[in-house]
Amino acid sequence: MSAKLLDLSTLSEGQVRRVKELRRAFQRSLNHMPTTIQRTLIDRAAVPTAKAEAAALDPNVCANDVVRLDNVAERARREMYLVLQATRKESLPTFRGMFGEVQA
């Protein structure tokens, strides 16, 4: 994904607000503070999603651009959810799993 697509300075005030809302929503699905990698994936999903939503509402944007932006946003969200689900399945080992049954 290009750096230009993730540049927040090109977003309007409403789009920046929407990016923040999306970040919060994606973080809430984690139920914990995101790691640096998770935060990066959340940003990579939130920014194109906000841009695609804005483009879909803009009558001056051609349909091809809307479809392309939406596809970029969908791929970013899919990648984010796949990584977040994979890290969620990796649970910490239990005491019993590490040491077995404790002999008294």
- Asked whether 21 and 42 are in contact (CB, 8 A), the reply is no
**Res. 34 pLDDT band, cuts 50 70 90:** confident
**Res. 12 pLDDT band, cuts 50 70 90:** confident
**What is the Cα–Cα distance from 93 to 95, expressed in whole angstroms?**
7
Average pLDDT over residues 75-96: 76
Q: How many CA atoms lie within 13 A of 98 on its CB side?
A: 5
More confident residue, 88 or 59: 59
Mean of per-residue pLDDT scores for the chain: 83
CA 49 to chain centre: 9
Lowest mean pLDDT among 45-49, 73-77, 95-99: 95-99
At 14 the pLDDT is 87
